Amino acid sequence: MPAACDSVLEDIEDIVSAEDLKPRDRQFVRKNVFPKVRKRHSQKNIQTDDDPPSDSIIPGAQKIWIRTWGCSHNNSDGEYMAGQLAAYGYKITDNSAEADLWLLNSCTVKNPAEDHFRNSIKKAQEGKKKVVLAGCVPQAQPRQDYLKGLSIIGVQQIDRVVEVVEETIKGHSVRLLGQKKDNGKRLGGARLDLPKIRKNPLIEIISINTGCLNACTYCKTKHARGDLASYPIEELVDRAKQSFQEGVCEIWLTSEDTGAYGRDIGTDLPTLLWKLVEAIPEGAMLRLGMTNPPYILEHLEEMAKILNHPRVYAFLHIPVQSASDSVLMDMKREYCVADFKQVVDFLKEKVPGITIATDIICGFPGETDEDFQETMKLVEQYRFPSLFINQFYPRPGTPAAKMHQVPATVKKQRTKDLSQLFHSYNPYDHKVGERQRVLVTEESFDSNYYVAHNPFYEQVLVPKDPLLMGKMVEVNIYEAGKHYMKGRPVSDARVYTASITRPLAKGEVSGLTEEFRHAPQNGTKWKAHPSAEIPVKTPLSSWMALQLPWQQEGGGLKILSVSLALLAVLVMFYYGGMKTEL
Could you state, in order of their start, the residue ranges of all structural domains in the chain? 59-180, 202-425, 430-497
Fold of the domain spanning 430-497: OB fold (Dihydrolipoamide Acetyltransferase, E2P) (2.40.50)
Residue 553 pLDDT: 41
Predicted TM-score of the model (pTM)? 0.78
What does DSSP assign to residue 495? -
Strand segments, DSSP code E, in 397-470 are 435-443, 450-453, 459-462
CATH of 202-425 given 3.80.30.20, 3.30.10.20, 3.50.4.10, 1.10.357.10: 3.80.30.20
Residue 360 pLDDT: 98
Cα–Cα distance, 64 to 484 (Å, whole number): 35
- DSSP track, 474-485: EEEEEEE-SS-E
Do 198 and 243 meet the contact criterion of CB atoms below 8 Å apart? Answer: no
Residue 11 pLDDT: 39
Cα–Cα distance, 192 to 73 (Å, whole number): 13
Cα–Cα distance, 62 to 10 (Å, whole number): 34
Do 275 and 416 meet the contact criterion of CB atoms below 8 Å apart? Answer: no
Residue 498 pLDDT: 75
List the Cα angle 317/288/375 in 5-degree steps: 5
The dihedrals phi and psi of 453, each to the nearest 5 degrees, come to -135, 140
Cα–Cα distance, 284 to 472 (Å, whole number): 8
Query: Using only C-alpha atoms, what is the Rg of the chain?
Result: 31
Cα–Cα distance, 477 to 180 (Å, whole number): 48
Cα–Cα distance, 304 to 270 (Å, whole number): 10
List the Cα angle 458/459/460 in 5-degree steps: 115
Nearest alpha carbon to residue 528 among 547, 510, 500, 542? 547
Cα–Cα distance, 66 to 101 (Å, whole number): 9
**310: Cβ contacts below 8 Å, ≥ 6 apart:** 455
Residue 23 pLDDT: 45
Give the pLDDT means over successive 10-residue stretches in the chain (582 positions).
Answer: 43 42 46 49 45 60 94 93 95 96 93 93 96 94 93 94 95 90 78 94 95 92 90 96 94 95 96 97 95 92 97 98 98 96 98 98 98 98 97 94 97 98 97 97 96 98 95 97 97 79 90 57 36 32 35 46 58 46 34
Answer positive or negative: Cα dihedral of 96, 102, 106, 112. positive
Do 451 and 443 meet the contact criterion of CB atoms below 8 Å apart? Answer: yes
How far apart, in Å, do the first and last CA atoms of the chain sit? 17
Burial group, residue 230, by CB count within 10 angstroms (0-12, 13-18, 19+) = buried
List the Cα angle 460/465/469 in 5-degree steps: 65
**CB-hemisphere CA count at 13 Å for 527?**
12
Fold of the domain spanning 59-180: Rossmann fold (3.40.50)
Cα–Cα distance, 397 to 419 (Å, whole number): 29
